[in-house]
Amino acid sequence: MHKKKYPFTQNRELSWLKFNQRVLEEAADQRVPLLERLKFAAIFTSNLDEFFQVRCGSLTDMGLVDPNQIDSKSGMTPDEQLSAIYRETKHLYTMRDNIMKNLNKILVALHIMPVAWKDLNKKQKQHLTRYFDSQMMPLLAPQIIDFHHPFPFLINKELYVFFQLIEDGKKRYGLVPIPDYLERIVYLNDEKTEYILAENIILHNLERIFPKQKILFKTIIRVTRNADINLDAKDIEEDEDYRQYMKKILKRRSRLAPVRLEVYKNYSEEPINYLCSQLHLSKQQVFVTKNSPLEFAHIFKLIDQLPAELKKPLLYEPFTPETNNRLNPDKPIIPQVLDHDVLLSYPYEDIDQFIRLLKEASEDENVISIKITIYRLAKNSKIVHYLRRAVENGKDVTVLMELRARFDENHNIYNAERLEEVGCNVIYGFDDYKVHSKIMEITYKTDNGLKTITQIGTGNYNEKTSHQYTDFSFITSREDIGKDATNFFQNMNISNLNGTYEKILVSPHQLKEKIISELDHQIELANEGKPACASFKMNSLTDLDIISKLAQASQAGVKIRMIIRGISDLLPGLEGLTDNIEIHSVVGRYLEHSRIYIFGCGPEAKVYISSADFMTRNTERRVEVAVPIEDPELKKKLLDYFETQFSDDAKGRKLLSSGYYSNVETDRDEPFNSQDYFMQQAKENKFVAPPEPVIKPEPVKPIKKSWIARLLGK
């Protein structure tokens, strides 16, 4: 290992693994409902799958291109980084096995049982053997590997039974692919509380497929392949449609080189060495699991199928997002947002309020156009439905669809085609820059001329994830921000990344410069002996320019506090380097996804929300948007949000200078969970219509007798 160029940084991949360990720790937390703990184990596994496909895949490629390239933040070559990742990951596998062993004990006590073959009674084994013969074996395609049947291609993340047998005195290897169309969960009772996984049934009935051979070794395996595809515009034919090019390039993903081999329980040197030689993997890249299945996707279906009365107390208490206190749900949205700014906070407030705005815009005769950038969408997206309706109703609709949203590429291609077929103007951004911004503009005709409604958010236009991720969505009719939004979409249409804007910050050519400029201003204040602060909430921090500026600001006396959910390449609290930086991480019921930038101290601070993390890919290689929040009430909402979450000592952890996490120390008697607090606040602050004014009748004045007399002429 070489000397680090930056003494206050750590390796990003190891930092990410520590974050994913925090996810796994939620599966061990006894304060978390039991079935939610099972979900966290599944999320940890899914996260790790993607990490190996993308990050390990990228490092593997890097090692082939330039094996001596040194990571400036850790002093490691690509191979050294991979070796460190493999060592750390093996500890995580052991940790997951121990957690799953304990979880399964509790589940069995509650009669929710994943049953091992050895624990089946005679009647159950007979039933499953008949089930295997009639329902499974006809669908299997076993293969013996020999001269005429070479080692097959193993599909990314698919399950296989791998075995060694002896036939005519010769040892041979074979594979049984487990088709993904098989029912993965096979229930053993009508209540659907006892079950066995399909791969275990096949594993234990392998001898029925090869009755004349002796099975020497058998196990279940899964291969993970590199999914880090690099797109090169030079490969696109001159007359080729961009969508068709993307479809073609995506086919390559499933055939890229293996980066990991997982083995279930049974391990033997000779067969595993054979697999490694065929897959060109080292023993470092082999991971054995003892008490956990290799694939956890079935967990969510399993929980859905459990009897309601059994699972209800074992899950989080249901939470319904509330209405924002600035939006009357009984009145149209458009007139309200034309009148005042709104800041939605997901998942505590309902994304349906935004969708209602889009629905109204699709139908309102005064709406002329809708423009929007899209990165990820829900299945059967209402967003796409109302954009299509807007086109059908004669609106001019422009959608900038990013086709390179990793693992959502096919879904985005499908939606782009659906939008184009009704006449929507769909554009695809830039060759070298992903468009990751979340911005929408509605142009509205009024008696006083054209007005704009602009929405800028921190998260995707995705109805499903808005109930799982924390994000902010700002809606305004401010003329200056509307003008910026108009310029932004015009620039996107003409592929101009160098546009200038009055209020919003746009990467790759403006956002980072503004962040550094604002930090420089805080440094100047500190040098003058004035209060100087900066606070940030985001998912990841890797940009070296910003990291260096944060370290400089720290040593100038600027108080820096950060909430970083995942990767932090910056190490806080290092004496003489980052003394004044404190970093927390919150992992809880909801995935923390919002980005907040705060420059300054107290209520006078400048506050932004943004789609961009402080990662080099966001600040230099993506189109991102940040917007200032200047409405005093909404700004206070964000400042209070940050302070509340920074004080979380239930799900919050403090990043140490070693790169590990510790509990957040407070004087409270009871741990404080910020997400629980925000749910309660949403209930208390939801919109309540003011009571209808009571019109009191005017009191009847007594008629004076003298007046009556005059009236009667008396």
SS3 237: coil
In this model, does residue 703 exceed pLDDT 70? Answer: no
pLDDT computed for residue 629 by the predictor: 98
- My answer on whether 365 and 264 are in the same domain is no
CA atoms within 13 A on the CB side of 413: 16
- Side chain identity at residue 19, one-letter code: F
Contact 556, 534 (CB under 8 A): no
pLDDT band at residue 701, thresholds of 50, 70 and 90?
low
Contact 465, 594 (CB under 8 A): no
Say if residue 521 is in the same domain as residue 421: no
Is residue 691, in this structure, part of any structural domain at all?
A: no
Which residues on adjacent β-strands are paired with residue 445? 450
pLDDT in the model for residue 431? 83
Q: Does residue 712 register a pLDDT over 90?
A: no
| C-beta neighbour count of 602 within 10 angstroms | 8
The mean-pLDDT minimum among 1-15, 307-321, 468-482, 514-528 falls in 1-15
pLDDT at 233: 46
Whether 281 and 358 map to the same domain: the answer is: no
Mean pLDDT (whole number) for 12-30: 97
Residue 698 is predicted with a pLDDT of: 72
The pLDDT assigned to 246 comes to 59
CATH number at residue 350: 3.30.870.10
Between 169 and 397, whose confidence is greater?
A: 397
User: pLDDT tens digits, residue range 286-323?
Assistant: 999 998 999 999 999 999 999 999 999 999 999 999 99
Whether residue 259 is found in the same domain as residue 344? no
Q: Percentage of residues in the chain with pLDDT exceeding 70? A: 93
Give the integer Cα–Cα distance in Å for 135 and 186. 11
Same domain, 354 and 475: yes
Stretch 23-27: mean pLDDT, rounded? 97
pLDDT in tens, 118-163: 999 999 999 999 999 999 999 999 999 988 889 999 999 999 999 9
356 and 218 co-located in one domain: no
Structural domain that includes position 540: 506-672
Tokens read off for 527 = 């040098």
Domain boundary among 466, 496, 526: 496
The encoded tokens of residue 567 equal 């990767």
CA distances from 181 to 128, 159, 177, 666 (A): 18, 12, 11, 51
pLDDT of amino acid 691: 75
Name the E strands within 137-229.
143-145, 159-167, 170-177, 185-187, 194-197, 214-225
Annotated binding site: which residue ranges?
47, 376, 406, 469, 565, 593
Please check whether residues 184 and 279 belong to one and the same domain: yes
DSSP helix/strand/coil, 547: helix
DSSP code, position 603: G
Whether the CB-CB separation of 221 and 293 falls below 8 Å is answered with no
Residues 289, 341 within the same domain: no
Please give the Cα distance from 495 to 488 (Å, whole number): 10
CA distances from 198 to 116, 132, 155, 409 (A): 11, 9, 18, 30
Question: pLDDT category, 661, cuts 50, 70, 90?
Answer: very high
H-helix or E-strand containing 176?
strand 170-177
Please tell me whether residues 101 and 83 are part of one structural domain.
Answer: yes
In the annotated binding site for ATP, the residues are 47, 469, 565, 593
In the predicted structure, residue 408 carries a pLDDT above the cut 90: no
Question: How far apart (Å, rounded) are the C-alpha atoms in residues 487 and 502?
Answer: 10
> Can you tell me whether residue 690 is helix, strand or coil?
coil
pLDDT band at 234 (very low <50, low <70, confident <90, very high): very low
The answer to whether position 688 is within a domain reads no
How many structural domains does the chain have?
Answer: 3
436 assigned to active site: yes
Query: Given this model, what pLDDT does residue 689 score?
Result: 79
Question: Per residue in 75-100, pLDDT tens?
Answer: 999 999 999 999 999 999 999 999 99
Residue of 2, 204, 340, 436 marked catalytic: 436
Check pLDDT > 60 for residue 484. yes
Contact 197, 293 (CB under 8 A): yes
Tens digits of residue pLDDT in 365-386:
999 999 999 999 999 999 999 9
Q: Are 704 and 367 in contact (CB under 8 A)?
A: no
Least confident among 172-186, 225-239, 279-293, 607-621: 225-239
pLDDT category at 2 given cuts 50, 70, 90 is: confident
Annotated binding-site positions for Mg(2+)? 376, 406
Band of residue 530 on the pLDDT scale cut at 50, 70, 90:
very high
> Has residue 25 been placed in a domain?
yes
Kindly state whether residue 441 falls inside one of the protein's structural domains.
yes
Residues 535, 483 share a domain: no
Q: What is the pLDDT of residue 238?
A: 47
| Domain identity same for 355 and 480 | yes
Domain termination residue (choose one: 462, 496, 530): 496
User: Is pLDDT above 70 for 589?
Assistant: yes
* Residue 692 belongs to some domain of the structure: no
Asked if the structure places residue 576 within a domain, the reply is yes
Residue 48's pLDDT is 98
Is 649 part of a structural domain of the chain?
yes
* C-beta separation of 430 from 404 below 8 A: no
The residue type found at 108 is: V
Same domain, residue pair 442 and 467: yes
In a domain, 386, yes or no: yes
Residues 6+ apart with CB under 8 A from 697: none
CATH of the domain at 79: 3.30.1840.10
Q: What is the pLDDT of residue 709?
A: 53
